[in-house]
Structure 1
Amino acid sequence: MNPAGAAGRVSVVMPVYNAAATVEASMRSVLAQTHADVELVVVDDGSRDDSWERVRRIADGDARVVALRQPNGGVAAARNTGIEAASGEYIAFLDSDDRWAPAKLETQLEWMRRQDARVAYAAYERIDEDGRRLSLVQPPAAVDYRDMLKSNRIGNLTGIYHRSLGDARFRRIGHEDYVFWLEMVRRAGRAVCAPSAEPLAHYLVRAGSLSADKRRAAGWQWRIYREVEGLGLLSSGWYFAHYTLNALRKRR
């Protein structure tokens, strides 16, 4: 059997921390997928608002939701808890303030089947807190490990992998999403972008978010090259130059 076949359960891991204003819309965007065999694993990471009550309210009405709660340990720990609890053949991720288009999973699974791929991603739009589009992120048709070293081409809210690759763990480090997908693409050999007329996901950009701190992000990137991937000084400098150029292009 082709391990990247279109049929199969997708476990969607959603970490939650003080997300009462957005978590219900994010959850419903998963439960409204046209690919019906979905398991939504929601991990409340010690929220201090009423996020857990909102999660439980939806979970009580939909058996596809697995609602878990743990002391605050950060987003990496919450995602790892979700992966461990997941029962699906595929794993995908969505944060509790982002949303998916209804055909997101169906589109990706079909493209993975056609391309015989075990990792896929998609285009997504960045929106502000008023719902206005800031930019469209349109990644390349396919990437390999070296491409990923030049730039993170996989928005975490669009990534999906087949569990025949094994489950990696999220590390508590800046750019933990990037480190995770670097590893999954290295294992798979390549990843493919599912084509679609419209973006398949919507990423919320909050004012003052950590991801908006470009200087800090650059420091994280350099550390990943040197300490996580073990690249030499010259190789790190070469890939860092590509990273900088690609970061500028993404925001045009």
Structure 2
Amino acid sequence: MVRVSIVIPCFNAGRTLSQTLASLQAQSHLDWEAIVVDDGSTDCTRLVAAGFAQEDERIRVLGNSGNGPSDARNFGATCARGDIIAYCDADDLWLPHKVARLIEVFDSQPQIAGCFGQVVFFDGQRDGTVSKIHRETLDIPTLMGENPVCTMSNLALRRAVVQSSEGLDNHMVHNEDLEFLVRLVGQGHVILGLREVLVKYRTNPTGLSANVRAMAQSRRRVLATAAKYGHRSGPFCEAVHLRYLARRALRVDGPPLQALSLGLRGVCTSPAGWFSAPQRGVLVLGATLIAPLMPRALRHALFSR
């Protein structure tokens, strides 16, 4: 049986999909399958995927009904044959040792339901900053403030856990991964953080800029799920979340006024929450204050790396 099934939802990903699939073919451990779910693309995505599948029998290409990435991921997971299900977006890259590391971790720690590592942000050419993991395992209070997993490309779960869950919420486009994680942790599943980089996460400044309002709306669903497990948000938690968004805006080279707005809102919402990690609070606030005064190239050099 295949050990690791990699679910890749795709929508008009023809420009980046070949790099993603090539990063899987470069894995040091060969016992994997990739399930490429084309979610109604109108570009060359299907042709790119089919070309790889023709040359590599580990890659399968499936069609979906165009209901969005959550539905595509859920559908792909139902078709998985591996006892570990991992997710990868069609524009991200896996480091060559990731499959081997996943197998090692799941085999040595039978008590865990899933794991994730650190990600390095990159703009398609250059690597940037690396995400942080501050706790060994995920908990709901942490997830209510920030998402150390960062991206679905960084999450792997036992197939039995995925099958027993309701999967990702098909009605959510933003924060669906966060809501899924809150549900899993709330149900008692242990998700382990590995302090090592396993994924290159491609930055998308226009996505963050265009979707901050939508992200705020979907966050309400995340908080509602957390409340079902006895956890409620407050000013402290909201300030931590705003600090997280401000840091993400800087990392992905988003509009500097957006980062500034997030920073000021966070400090005003709860100074104690914003500076709950003192060094991070000072650095992020300082960066949001000076970013609007800098040329874009300098901002990118300082904050995206």
Q: For the structure 1 residues 43 and 142, does the alpha-carbon distance in structure 2 shift closer, same or farther, using more than 3 Å as the test?
A: same
Q: Which residue of 2 aligns with 1:177?
A: 177
TM-superposition CA deviations, 1:190-229 (whole Å, max 9, x none): 2112233xx2111111231147743432332133213x33
Structure with the bigger percentage of helix: 2
Structure 2 distance, partners of 1:25, 1:181, is 27
Secondary structure of the residue that 1:202 maps to in structure 2? strand
Structure 1 distance, partners of 2:148, 2:215, is 15
Q: Which residue of 2 aligns with 1:208?
A: 206
Q: Which residue of 1 aligns with 2:82?
A: 88
TM-score, length of structure 2 as denominator length:
0.71
- The CA RMSD measured in Å over matched residues stands at 2.6
State the structure with more CA Rg.
Answer: 2
Q: Which residue of 2 aligns with 1:151?
A: 146
Aligned match for 1:124, one of 92, 110, 119:
119
Q: Which amino acid aligns with 1:222?
A: R
TM-superposition CA deviations, 1:125-163 (whole Å, max 9, x none): 11124x223421122332233332332222311110112
| Alignment gaps of 5+ in structure 2 | 252-283, 285-305
Q: Which amino acid aligns with 2:18?
A: E
Q: Which residue of 2 aligns with 1:190?
A: 190
Q: Which residue of 1 aligns with 2:46?
A: 52
Secondary structure of the residue that 1:126 maps to in structure 2? strand
Aligned-residue sequence identity (percent) comes to 26
Deviates more, 1:80-89 or 1:104-113: 104-113
Q: For the structure 1 residues 84 and 231, does the alpha-carbon distance in structure 2 shift closer, same or farther, using more than 3 Å as the test?
A: closer
Q: For the structure 1 residues 78 and 166, does the alpha-carbon distance in structure 2 shift closer, same or farther, using more than 3 Å as the test?
A: closer
Answering whether residue 230 of structure 2 is matched by residue 236 of structure 1, we say no
Answering whether residue 20 of structure 2 is matched by residue 26 of structure 1, we say yes
Structure 1 distance, partners of 2:59, 2:190, is 31
Superposition pairs of residues 59-138 of structure 1, within 5 angstroms: 59-116=53-110, 117-129=112-124, 131-138=125-132
Which structure carries more relative contact order (alpha carbon 8 Å, separation 6+)? 1
Structure 2 distance, partners of 1:11, 1:202, is 19
Structure 2 distance, partners of 1:184, 1:232, is 11
Tell me, yes or no, if the aligned pair for 2:182 and 2:226 is still in contact at 8 Å.
no
Structure 2 distance, partners of 1:80, 1:44, is 13
Tell me, yes or no, if the aligned pair for 2:37 and 2:63 is still in contact at 8 Å.
yes
Aligned match for 1:39, one of 33, 52, 55:
33
Secondary structure of the residue that 1:80 maps to in structure 2? helix
Q: Which residue of 2 aligns with 1:3?
A: none
Structure 2 distance, partners of 1:36, 1:232, is 40
Secondary structure of the residue that 1:200 maps to in structure 2? strand
Q: Which amino acid aligns with 1:101?
A: L
Secondary structure of the residue that 1:209 maps to in structure 2? helix
Tell me, yes or no, if the aligned pair for 2:9 and 2:72 is still in contact at 8 Å.
yes
Structure 2 distance, partners of 1:91, 1:232, is 25
Tell me, yes or no, if the aligned pair for 1:125 and 1:136 is still in contact at 8 Å.
yes
Tell me, yes or no, if the aligned pair for 2:186 and 2:229 is still in contact at 8 Å.
no
Displacement of 1:115:
3.7
TM-superposition CA deviations, 1:37-70 (whole Å, max 9, x none): 1010000111111110110011011111111013
Aligned residues: 242
TM-superposition CA deviations, 1:61-88 (whole Å, max 9, x none): 1111111013322111111110111111
Tell me, yes or no, if the aligned pair for 1:124 and 1:203 is still in contact at 8 Å.
yes
